[in-house]
């Protein structure tokens, strides 16, 4: 049997870091939403009981280090499944970009093998398991728009933003999340107003959302990689309604309501960056098992 799962990228509309915890992680408040830039996951059941990974991308490991492998292994162990699975990853989301590509692949595998192996676990159970793989996996299990707290694994659903264009540009560098969190100095940090962002989402106020975007990690990554600041400036000048770095970076996104402006931003970045995307937000979808 073979099934498919879509694994969409996320952007952080706001990302606040509150304090460093005793376990080494940081307590965060993040408003995240999924966008229509997605990997495609193909799952084929294997009677041998093995978990195998295939991908045409040279940037992702095709062994136990792949987050998708870890997701399948966790499900197999937790629910004592004899069957195996071959996981083919069509990689469209840039890697180490701040877009949760690996986390979304892992979440898609959790959802996918749940169906493939007839496990019937709830999304809450999958999210709890996913949190063992990485801080962004729980959010990626549900998708849509949500507030993520704790180290990112506690999810509260939110209304999705009004439809708009999201133009993304990734400079040709990869960023390690751990390095950025380590370089963060909380005394000098800038904090977004999460409450105001949530209020703007509840009101469906696009310009209110644009006014509240903010990311505590942005200054840290920008100091290490000047390309982030340069892309932000270029997007602003080309008429973006809001501009922000996603996650720990280095991808920068802009929110744009008008088609013509979105095209202008896309075209102005195309000569500057190899990886530029113009996509829609993905609306909130109620998912049940």
Ligand X SMILES: C[C@](O)(CO)[C@H](O)COP(=O)(O)OP(=O)(O)OC[C@H]1O[C@@H](n2ccc(N)nc2=O)[C@H](O)[C@@H]1O
Ligand Y SMILES: Nc1ncnc2c1ncn2[C@@H]1O[C@H](COP(=O)(O)OP(=O)(O)OP(=O)(O)O)[C@@H](O)[C@H]1O
**Can you say which residues are annotated as belonging to the binding site for ATP?**
94-104
Helix, strand, coil percentages (3-state) for the chain, rounded to 5, are 35, 30, 35
Using CB under 6 A as the binding criterion, the count of chain residues that bind ligand Y stands at 21
Using CB under 6 A as the binding rule, whether residue 169 contacts ligand Y is answered as no
What's the N-to-C CA distance of the chain in angstroms? 19
Q: Specify whether the CB–CB gap between 152 and 132 falls below 8 A.
A: no
CB of 234 to ligand X, least distance (A): 23
Buried b or exposed e, range 145-158, using 16+ CB within 10 angstroms: bbbbbebbbebeeb
Residue 52 or 177: the one with the smaller Cβ distance to ligand Y is: 177
Parallel, antiparallel or unpaired: strands 84-90 and 26-46: antiparallel
Q: Tell me which of ligand Y, ligand X, none is bound by residue 111, counting a contact when its beta carbon lies within the kind-specific cut-off of 5 to 8 angstroms.
A: none
Q: Which of 88, 43, 36, 57 is nearest to 278 (CA)?
A: 36
Minimum CB–partner distance for residue 266 and ligand X (Å) = 24
Residue 181 binding ligand X, by CB under 6 A: yes
Q: Which of 14, 34, 55, 103 binds ligand X (CB under 6 A)?
A: 103
The rounded distance, in Å, linking the Cα atoms of 213 and 94 is 22
* 10 is an active site residue: yes
Q: Which of 16, 39, 105, 136 is catalytic?
A: 136
Cβ 7 to ligand Y shortest distance, Å: 8
219 binds ligand X (CB under 6 A): no
The residues annotated as belonging to the active site are 10, 136
Which positions touch ligand Y (CB under 6 A)? Answer: 60-61, 65-68, 89, 95-103, 105, 136, 177, 247-248
């Amino acid at each position: 049997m073979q099934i498919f799962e879509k694994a969409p990228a996320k952007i952080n509309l706001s990302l606040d870091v509150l304090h460093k915890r005793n376990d080494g992680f940081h307590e965060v408040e993040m408003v995240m939403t999924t966008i229509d830039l997605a990997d495609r996951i193909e799952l084929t059941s294997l009677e041998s009981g093995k978990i195998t990974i295939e991908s045409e991308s040279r940037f992702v490991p095709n062994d136990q280090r792949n987050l998708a492998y870890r997701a399948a292994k966790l499900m197999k162990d937790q629910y004592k499944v004899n069957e195996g699975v071959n996981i083919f990853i069509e990689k469209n989301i840039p890697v180490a970009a701040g877009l949760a590509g690996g986390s979304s692949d892992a979440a898609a595998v959790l959802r996918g093998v749940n169906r493939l192996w007839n496990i019937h676990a709830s999304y809450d159970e999958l999210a709890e398991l996913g949190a063992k793989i990485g801080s962004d996996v729980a959010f990626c299990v549900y998708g849509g728009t949500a507030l993520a707290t704790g180290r990112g694994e506690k999810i509260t659903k939110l209304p999705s933003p009004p439809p708009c264009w999201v133009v993304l540009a990734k400079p040709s560098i990869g960023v390690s999340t751990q390095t950025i969190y380590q370089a963060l100095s909380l005394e000098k940090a800038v904090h977004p107003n999460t409450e105001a962002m949530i209020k703007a989402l509840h009101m469906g106020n696009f310009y209110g959302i644009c006014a509240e975007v903010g990311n505590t990690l942005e200054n840290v990554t920008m100091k290490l990689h000047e390309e982030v600041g340069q892309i932000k400036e270029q997007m602003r000048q080309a008429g973006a309604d809001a501009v922000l770095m996603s996650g720990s970076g280095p991808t920068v996104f802009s929110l744009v309501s008008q088609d013509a402006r979105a095209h202008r931003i896309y075209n102005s970045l195309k000569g500057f960056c190899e990886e530029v995307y113009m996509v829609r937000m993905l609306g909130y979808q109620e998912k049940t098992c």
